[in-house]
Amino acid sequence: MSKPGDESGPRDPYFVTLQAALTEAGIASPTLVIDKTRLNANIDTLMGQLPAGMAYRIVAKSLPSLDLISHIRKRSGSSRLMTFNQPMLNALTRAMPDADQLVGKPLPIGAARNYFAGLAAGDTQAAGQIQWLVDTPERLRQYQELASATGQNLRINIELDVGLHRGGMEAGDTLKTMLEALKKSAELTFTGFMGYEPHLAALPEALGWRERAKAGAWRRYGEALSQAADVFGADAVSNLVRNAAGSPTYRYYQTTEIANEISAGSCLVKPTHFDTPLLEAHQPASFIATPVIKSISRTRLPGLEFAADGQRAWDPNTLRTVFIYGGNWLADPVDPPGLSYNKTFGRSSNQEMLNGGHNLSIEPDEFVFFRPHQSEAVFLQFGDIAVFEDGRISARWPVFEASA
Ligand SMILES: Cc1ncc(COP(=O)(O)O)c(C=O)c1O
């Protein structure tokens, strides 16, 4: 184990400007900030990478704010959404009745019932634009019963297992039976397939592992499409929704031979889990900003005061302490540079301790900035998003209610 060097240093001018904007806007509590200029650049990067004919589906759970989704819809020109829970499905049906919502996981039939029970008068037509995801013959039977009982026609998309092994169908007799049942049904309409494969980006490239898994995923997808063509005819299949990908894998789709739409959300705000070589062209566009409550020049740990000199001598990054407003988020501190959590003191949701080196210089009421690890749950913890644009906070965007 080598002795750590001091990582503290001057603040990044970008965060100094962001701090001034937050102060100017009167913000003084933990806040999720989106840099709109960077968000726009990320949307343009994504759209610019798609091959001709490839549609884009906006992953709502990773961008959990109606205003954020509206902005992305406008800039990307896409009205396709991928939605993951019943409350969000109802909220989006209400707010965006023209959107085509593909449900991103198979919802229990009870949740589908609750969706219809929660529909406002006048939303029935919009409800007809939902593609319900179905992963087994049993779930298909349940959705058929719901459609028969309510007289509501339902659109059905079948989840494929293309190698992630998180459930879903593979080509074979059972899939054929499901497709035939869909063809026969007066109330159900088959809209297409969804085959998600984020595991591909995580596999090593060495020895051709990733390429083999990718070829395997596309072979499985292709087999399901052939089976659909056998049942519905080739013409009908050319109109199907063939959904694939997520942020880590969307760039693999350089033709529309297998998929004709990709879904992605996180890469537009780029939390740290998406710092991958394939997403290098995307910029971090979301930060947690929180005020410093206390700034202390010497770190002292309760009951371990005698050990402080030794710890400092080994790791200069433990010299100074700040206590921040809130904490314990799924996030890493990024500015001022060189800050880290204190393993001995532990995490705190109330006043979290962060340590830094000799050059850490930050006063109470100034802001520490973090990058979230993921967007979906973290964005919901701070109230309205602060939108940073042209050096100021130009808008506040409410987020969805936290729900699974
Ligand atoms: C079915 C499905 N498609 C796509 C995505 C991609 O979302 P993101 O781009 O935010 O990673 C997810 C994420 O969980 C998913 O479950």
Supply 37's token pair: 């200029």
Residue 157: the pLDDT is 98
Residue identifier of the C-alpha nearest atom 1 of ligand 1 = 104
Residue identifier of the C-alpha nearest atom 14 of ligand 1 = 246
CA 275 to ligand 1 centroid distance, Å: 16
Closest by Cα among 94, 48, 21 to 392: 21
Mutate to test the pocket of ligand 1, among 56, 62, 85 (most ligand atoms within 8 A of CB): 62
CA 261 to chain centre: 17
Residue 316: the pLDDT is 93
Q: Please provide residue 373's backbone torsions phi and psi, each rounded to the nearest 5 degrees.
A: -75, -35
Residue 357: the pLDDT is 97
Q: Please provide residue 294's backbone torsions phi and psi, each rounded to the nearest 5 degrees.
A: -140, 140
Per DSSP (E only), the strands in 209-309 are 241-244, 261-264, 286-296
Residue 310: the pLDDT is 79
Q: Which helix (H) or strand (E) holds 370?
A: strand 367-372
> How far apart, in whole angstroms, are the C-alpha atoms of residue 59 and residue 289?
24
Residue 125: the pLDDT is 87
194 by DSSP, 3-state: which? strand
Name the pairing type of β-strands 80-83 and 55-59: parallel
Between the alpha carbon of residue 191 and those of residues 47, 102, 155, the distances in Å are 24, 10, 6
130 by DSSP, 3-state: which? strand
Residue 304: the pLDDT is 83
Tell me which long-range contacts 297-305 makes (C-beta under 8 A, separation of at least 24): 299/342, 299/355, 301/342, 301/344, 301/345, 302/345, 304/344
Q: Which helix (H) or strand (E) holds 41?
A: helix 36-49
Residue 122: the pLDDT is 86
Q: Are 263 and 60 in contact (CB under 8 A)?
A: no
Closest by Cα among 248, 255, 247, 267 to 43: 267
Establish how many alpha carbons lie within 13 A of residue 237's alpha carbon, considering only the half-sphere containing its beta carbon: 19
Could you list the pLDDT tens digit for every one of the 404 residues in the chain? 789 999 999 999 999 999 999 999 999 999 999 999 999 999 999 999 999 999 999 999 999 999 999 999 999 999 999 999 999 999 999 999 999 999 999 999 999 999 999 998 888 889 999 999 999 999 999 999 999 999 999 999 999 999 999 999 999 999 999 999 999 999 999 999 999 999 999 999 989 999 999 999 999 999 999 999 999 999 999 999 999 999 999 999 999 999 999 999 999 999 999 999 999 999 999 999 999 999 999 998 888 878 778 788 888 999 999 999 999 999 999 999 999 999 889 999 999 999 999 999 999 999 999 999 999 999 999 999 999 999 999 999 999 988 77
> How far apart, in whole angstroms, are the C-alpha atoms of residue 350 and residue 95?
35
Please give the number of the atom of ligand 1 that sits closest to the Cα of 104.
Answer: 1
Q: Are 123 and 93 in contact (CB under 8 A)?
A: yes
- Has domain 84-259 been given CATH number 3.90.1300.10? no
CA 375 to ligand 1 centroid distance, Å: 11
Ligand 1 pocket by Cβ (under 6 Å): 59, 62, 82, 104, 196, 246-247, 263-267
Each domain of the chain, given as residue ranges in start order, spans 13-33+283-397, 84-259
Q: Are 273 and 290 in contact (CB under 8 A)?
A: no
In the block, residue with structure tokens 């939108």: 387
Between the alpha carbon of residue 99 and those of residues 69, 87, 398, the distances in Å are 11, 16, 20
> Does residue 302 have a cis bond before it (omega within 30 degrees)?
no
Residue 321: the pLDDT is 97
What CATH homologous superfamily does 13-33+283-397 map to? D-serine dehydratase-like domain (2.40.37.20)
Q: Are 117 and 146 in contact (CB under 8 A)?
A: no
Residue 307: the pLDDT is 78
Residue 106: the pLDDT is 98
Residue type, 239: N
